[in-house]
Amino acid sequence: MTPNKYKQLEKMSNNDGIIAALAIDQRGSLKKMLASYSDTPNENDIVEFKKAISSELTPYASSILLDPEYGLPAAKVRADNTGLLVAYEKTGYDTTEPGRMPDLIPEWSVKNLKEAGADSIKFLLYIDIDEDKKINEQKEAFVERIGSECVAEDIPLFVELVSYDANITDAKSSEYAKVKPHKVIEAMREFSKPRYNIDVLKVEVPINLDYVDGYNGSNLSVYTKDEALNYFKEQSEATDLPYIFLSAGVSAETFRTELILAKEAGADFNGVLCGRATWKGAIEPYAKDGEEAGIEWMDTEGKKNIEELNNVLKETATPWFKKVRQTV
């Protein structure tokens, strides 16, 4: 890793070398969340909500993930010494053809994201590792291009892998839970190859906790606890890169439990990029009762969510710099 990339990753991390990042790069989905409690959300509501999250919660996070369309004003009000990770992809994916093909925000490049203040670049890829070879070859080439752009600008690249199965519509189903470990781990193995020039992988946990024996309530048991632990360990062994977990919209409590299981399995993960699990509860008071009510929730429940997560990270995550050799 180049000295500049190393320095930028240090900005993304806390003093222990753990990435304890806050994610609020949602765009269309955030507008829908606000709309569920307000009849007339507009573009400015999204901007202002992101600003409130950034100003109130970044004092407790090592870095924040934002988007360039709505999030740059929020970047300006983040706490001092908070790293800035900026999304490069268009929100969602192309629904007019098979394969959930990605696209980039057309008016942005890695160069001007860096000029806008980004310390690191994030790209999200939907990937079914078993999909048609022609589809996956296009995605692989897409990531290679972005990796080359980041090499040229000497800036770290985070790639977020979101798995799916082209033949299973419900990602929360027991049917998908059965194939999820394979989908997550093999995608991670592929994109750990040096040709992609990825610096940090942002990944899902390899299981669905709702189907783990002892954690599944009234749901079907798809995995025993030992099987779940083995999947966490296999995931860790599938890469030599630093990797962090995404919260995938689960509750704050569920996410903490997943991290504890990863630690119990001996997984060598290096932090989190946590979004909705931290701040989703602020949506209702913010949209219904105004900014002041939303900020009150952030300053109490939101802060509590991050501090509890940070405490778990101290006990479970390992420093990313133990995996990285800095070049001269």
Top-confidence residue, 42 or 272 = 272
pLDDT tens-digit readout, 138-167: 999 999 999 999 999 999 999 999 999 999
Sign of torsion, CA 125 127 132 136? positive
Give the lowest-confidence range in 38-52, 85-99, 194-208: 38-52
Cα(167)–Cα(131) distance, integer angstroms: 9
If pLDDT is split at 50, 70 and 90, which confidence band does 47 have?
very high
Specify the pLDDT at position 42: 80
pLDDT average, residue stretch 36-58: 90
Pair 124, 93: CB distance under 8 Å? no
Pair 67, 87: CB distance under 8 Å? yes
E-strand ranges in the chain read 19-23, 63-66, 83-87, 120-127, 157-163, 200-203, 243-246, 271-274
Domain architecture of the chain: domains with CATH: 3-322 (3.20.20.70)
pLDDT average, residue stretch 13-19: 97
Residues in the chain: 328
pTM assigned to the model: 0.96
- By CB neighbour count within 10 A (0-12 exposed, 13-18 middle, 19+ buried), where does 142 fall? middle
Q: In the block, which residue shows the tokens 């509750």?
A: 251
Angle between helices 225-237 and 174-190 (to 10 degrees): 20
